Amino acid sequence: MDEVARLLNDMVAAGVIDDYAVFGAVAQMRYTEAVATLDADILVVVPDADPLQAGASKRAGALNVLSPIYAFCREHGYQAEGEAIRVGDWPVQIIPAFDALTEAAVKDAETGDVDGVPLRVVGADYLAVIALSVGRAKDFTRILALRECEAVTNQRIAELADRYDLGEAWRSFLERFDEK
């Protein structure tokens, strides 16, 4: 993962992206025990680009936004592998921040340490609320794991959920998983 961290830090230094933060399972592992995952998900903020307006369609727009990133990776010897870019042991999936929640998650990200290399990572609170917004079984498992390790509190999740219009989803989560 240190190789991924170096590549992302180089991208910021070269101005290819403004900022980034790891999220998903790789971010979760900063707070909980190790979990199995296929790839590393990275949220990126790109300079002066609105992914929804950069092309004729949402799909084309997202691709236009990502093309300088893919070009940078190619120049540095990293090839695309399906939807991801292979960097050492990790298929890396780059996802442009796509709403107010993910933009704030990158802005408020923390700086972790991977074998001495700094790596920006989404905080446990945002990680839980992003999981809540996605709402698959594995996302609910992530929230439960983060709470169990005391990386985040119900109160903090509730605050963020209310701010990003996910209050109802959070109440439904509590009803489903918390003991009465």
Partner 1 sequence: MRNEVQRLLQKQAAWQRSRASRPWADKLRESVAVRRGCAAIREHPPDRRAKRDTVRYWDITRVSR
Shorter beta-carbon distance to partner 1: residue 75 or 115: 115
167 binds partner 1 (CB under 8 A): no
112 binds partner 1 (CB under 8 A): yes
2 binds partner 1 (CB under 8 A): yes
179 binds partner 1 (CB under 8 A): no
Q: Measure the CA–CA gap between 32 and 124, rounded to whole angstroms.
A: 10
Which range, of 45-53, 56-64, 110-118, 167-175, touches partner 1 by CB under 8 A? 110-118
> What is the DSSP secondary-structure string of 68-94?
HHHHHHHHTT--EETTEEEETTEEEEE
- The answer to whether 44 touches 109, Cβ cutoff 8 Å, is no
Which range, of 108-116, 132-140, 153-161, 164-172, touches partner 1 by CB under 8 A? 108-116
Contacts of 25 (CB under 8 A, 6+ apart): 35, 36, 37, 41, 142
149 binds partner 1 (CB under 8 A): yes
Paired strand residues for 80: 85
Footprint of partner 1 on 73-92 (CB under 8 A): 89-90
Shorter beta-carbon distance to partner 1: residue 29 or 63: 29
Q: Measure the CA–CA gap between 143 and 140, rounded to whole angstroms.
A: 5
Q: What track of x and - describes contact with partner 1 for positions 27 through 46 (by CB under 8 A)? A: --xxxxxxxxxx--------
- The answer to whether 18 touches 45, Cβ cutoff 8 Å, is yes
Q: Measure the CA–CA gap between 18 and 160, rounded to whole angstroms.
A: 24
26 binds partner 1 (CB under 8 A): yes
Give the residues lining the site for partner 1 (CB under 8 A). Answer: 1-2, 25-26, 29-38, 89-90, 112-115, 148-149
